[in-house]
Amino acid sequence: MTDKKTIAIFGAGTGLGASLATRFGREGYKVALVARRAAPLEERVAELKSARIEAAAFPADLTNLDGIPALVRSIEERFGSIDTAVFCPVPSELGFVPAVELNASRLQPMANIFTFSPIEVSHAVLPGMLARGDGAVVIVGGLTAVVTIPGMSGVGPMMAATRNYVLTLNAEVAQKGVYAGTMNIGAFIDRSAGIRAATAGGKELDPRLPVIDPDEIAAEIWSLVTKRDRVEAILPQMPAS
């Protein structure tokens, strides 16, 4: 074993996941990549290794809540610890729906990936972090967790619940050396599955909708983890009111 730290990226896609792996890897972290499909993960592992970044793939469906504890244990067995955990899957169908059309049957399918899964991942990595007296958990959500947007409910209530959990968790564990934070994004993430789905079939994005470089988000998450001076960040930055 080495004294290098490990980042586990839960939702390691081609956008933010890839940027996080590169950013933290260049800072000396070992990288655990978690996503559903094994083949793309192995491609990213090979790319990281060519950049002299130690990485391993852990194919898993994050909506399978019962499998999360074993998934976390397998990462810890491979790398020795999880020092930073970032939960950032970007489903191709985000599930926005007007509030007047929202009911329990439409909300329930969103609950696993936007609320139950990030909480279960946090619960699974926390014992090791608390035992060491150090560690960081960052959960990535969307702007609708913070700002209500007419016509874009659905995921908002789920992410708002998760945001509440993160803020409360940080208040409980900060004095024990562990950080919990949230990054809320109000834009399409370039190079991600989300933006590919939005532009499939030659469709064009509404020019009023911002697109953000995932490298910028990764840099902000690095700042959250290392400085621990804020529990929450929003990108793109909102103008002062």
- Reading the chain (241 residues) residue by residue, the pLDDT tens digits are 457 999 999 999 999 999 999 999 999 999 999 999 999 999 999 999 999 999 999 999 999 999 999 999 999 999 999 999 999 997 766 678 999 999 999 999 899 999 999 999 999 999 999 999 999 999 999 999 999 989 889 899 999 999 999 999 999 999 999 999 999 999 988 878 777 777 878 888 777 778 999 999 999 999 999 999 999 999 998 665 5
pTM of the model: 0.93
**Which domains can be identified in the chain, with CATH numbers?**
6-235 (3.40.50.720)
Look at residue 235 and give its three-state secondary structure. Answer: strand
Q: Over the Cα atoms of the chain, what is R_g?
A: 17
Whole-number pLDDT of residue 238: 65
Whole-number pLDDT of residue 203: 82
Give all strands of the β-sheet with 84-87 in edge-to-edge order. 55-59, 30-35, 6-10, 84-87, 135-142, 178-185, 232-235
